[in-house]
Each structure stands twice: as C-alpha cells, then as structure tokens.
Amino acid sequence: MTSASDCCAPADLAAPIAASPLIPVTAPYGAAIAQLSLGMGGLAIGTGEFASMGVLPQVANSVGASIPQAGHMISAYALGVTVGAPLIAVAMARAPRRALLIGLMLFYLAGNALSALAPDYLSVVAARFVAGLPHGAYFGVAMLFAASMVPANKRAQAVGNVLLGLSIANVVGVPAATWLGQTLGWRTTFVAVSALAGLTALLIRLTTPEVSPSAEASPLRELGALRRLQVWLTLGVAAVGFGGIFAVYSYISPTLTEVSGLPLALVPAMLSVLGLGMIAGNIVGGWLSDRALKATMVGCLVWSAAALGLFTLASANPWTAGVNLFLIGCCIAMGPALQTRLMDVAGDAQTLAAALNHSAFNVANALGAWLGGLAVAAGYGWTAPGWVGMLLALAGLGVLLASLALERAEAAPARMR
C-alpha cells in the first residue's frame, strides 16, 4: 500500500498495489492521463452501442431481415449489458483492476469483431449480445478505479471524466462510425469500434497502475450489496429517473422531421447538439457533486423534469428544439452524482453496485422507449414522449427523496446517543 510520503512518486508498473480509501493511488503519468485512457473506453463503448442504430437499415438489408428484426441486435446488446454487469463484477471480485479492465476491453474488441464477421441475422444478434457483456462491468470498475486515483473530494469529477468518453462518442464517435458504415459498409463500423477498444486496452496498460483489490474482496462480499436497501433505491433512481431522457431520445428523429420541420440530413447535427449538452453535463455534474452531492441529485432531476416537459413546446421550432436538446443533454450530470452516491451506500461491495448502475441505465433505456412509444401509439403525437419523460424524472425524484428521508430517519437515533 502506498504511504503519504510516496503517493506522488512514480508507480512501479510491475508491482501491484492495494487501493486505499484514504490515500490516492498513483498513476505513472498522473491521474488526468489515466482518466483520459479510461475515458477512451467510454468512447469505444458509446460508439459501438449507438452507431449500431445508425447502420441498422444496412445490417437488415445485408442479412436478409426486416428493420424491426434487425433491431433485435440492439435489444440483445442491452440484454448483454444487463446480464454481464453483475456476473462479471461478482466473478472478478479478486482480479487486479488494471488487468481486469484490459481484459474487458479485449472482450469488447472480440464482440465487435464477431459482429463485423457475422454472416446472418442470428449470428449478428448473438454477436451483439456478446459485445454487450463487458459494457457495464467496464464502466463500473473504471469509475471506481478513476476515483481511487484522486482525493475523496474529487471522486465525482473523476467519475465524470470517465463518462465523458461516452458523451464525446455522441458528438464525434457515433457520427463518424455511422458515416463509415454507410459509406464503406456496416461491417467497417464494428471494425472501427474494435480498433478503438484495442487502443484503449493499450493506453490502460501504459498509463494506469496495477491495483489489487483489498485482501477481503470476494464474490460473496460483492453480493452483500444486494442486501442494502439504499443500493436498490439508488439504482431505482437511475432506472426510473433516467428513463425520461431515453423516452425523448428514442423518438427524436421523427419528432425533428415531422414536428420541427427539419430535413432528415440535419438530424445528426441536432444529435451532436444533444451530445454537447452531455459533455457539459458531465463536467458540471462532477464538479457540483463533489461539493453538494445530494443537492446536485435533487437539482438534476428537477432540471430533467423541466427540460423534458419543455420538449413538447420547444419542438415546434428547429431553433428552440436545438436549445432544448442541449438542455436535455445536460441532464446527464446525474451520472457522476449517482455513481458517487453508490460509492457511499454500497459499503465494501462497490464493484457490483457500480456495475449494476449500468444495468439500471439499460432498464431506463427500455422503460423510456417503451412508455414513449405507448404515448405515440395512443395518438398523443411525436412530442408526447416529452411528457412521459417529465413524469419519469419526477418519479425518479420521488424515489430519491424517499431514499434521503429513510437515510435521515436511520441516522436520527445515532445522533441522539
């Protein structure tokens, strides 16, 4: 374990060190470079997840499936995330952190390579399931790893820097990979994602220290997170409160063309505006969370409810729609806050809790898209997902307030002693 006197000395990459909750782990080239490398994984994963939606028609045509059938590859990926996150987190509880992250990135590389090589519909769906398996575990471990390299009062900013890669993917990675797939064939999209994953694995090896989990780490201890009510409540905030963003995101293209009057060719530019809002949200959300975590969580959900509700009005004009999409992107500020909250309530089972957070995000994705679709199908129009999103954000706020009230009630007897 590092000591206070040597925490700023160059790390010996050959000698694993144990993480301490009090003393930051030293990265060989500094925490900022290490976070950049970990964020590259977010860029790779975000590009792979969302660019697959952009090349969906090409995939369907290539493998002889309808577009709805090909859409099952997106569902299969989400299922892989939901299943893989807890299983890998528990099974790999004693694995050295750097080696685990490199392994997860190589796993992601393999899943996307299989996607590029898939000859038919069923193999594409199976390959996307495989690609989704390391997604949640990577983010969970990477964010805990990033937080271990900084003082406690900068944890949320470290988490936000890892999530920044996911936001940048929406601005740069996804449009570039989608263009590549539409120009040179959809298989090149997954080849490009595989290359990003390989680059990430190399950067992690070069710029981060090898950190061993504590001696007490075990699969059984990680499963202890499931006994903590506050962990479930925090995951509930993510699964419900974030569903609003996905309710709008899932139907943004037809809304912009049918309601805002934009040509289809300008939809990617509007999605980039949303991505810019996500970048701003990650940066500001991490900074605010390190100063007032609970207030930031409450404020983010109130902001989300307002921005998503405003979507129903702002979509009538392309300029106001663009401003509103930036504001909706800023709702991602909740991400660093939720992850930091999980660190606080998960006790000594943080890896599983952190990985489950990304399972919860995928539940939010499915829930938001489903409820938004019901509203559209019921005849309420393309802007109806905005109202759905607002209600989901308010429901998430209700879960959060219940969590905080319970926490205060449990702490009251201790204060009275």
Q: Tens of pLDDT along 253-276?
A: 788 888 989 887 788 788 889 889
Q: Where are the domains of the chain?
A: 25-213, 219-409
pLDDT at position 368, please?
86
Q: Bridge-partner residues for 211, per DSSP?
A: 17
Q: Which two tokens stand for residue 41?
A: 């994984």
Helix/strand/coil for 2: coil
Domains 25-213 and 219-409 share a fold: yes
Low-confidence spans in the chain with pLDDT less than 70: 1-23, 67-68, 213-218, 220-221, 224-225, 414-417
Contact 367, 240 (CB under 8 A): yes
Taking the domain 25-213, which CATH number applies? 1.20.1250.20
Contact 236, 342 (CB under 8 A): no
Helix/strand/coil for 18: strand
DSSP annotation of 377 reads: I
Q: Bridge-partner residues for 17, per DSSP?
A: 211
The identity of residue 78, as a single letter, is A
pLDDT at position 216, please?
63
Can you tell me the distance from the alpha carbon of 281 to that of 287, in angstroms, rounded to the nearest whole number?
10
pLDDT at position 360, please?
87
Tell me which architecture the domain covering 219-409 has in CATH: Up-down Bundle (1.20)
The reported pTM is 0.79
405: closest CA among 224, 229, 225, 155?
229
pLDDT at position 52, please?
82
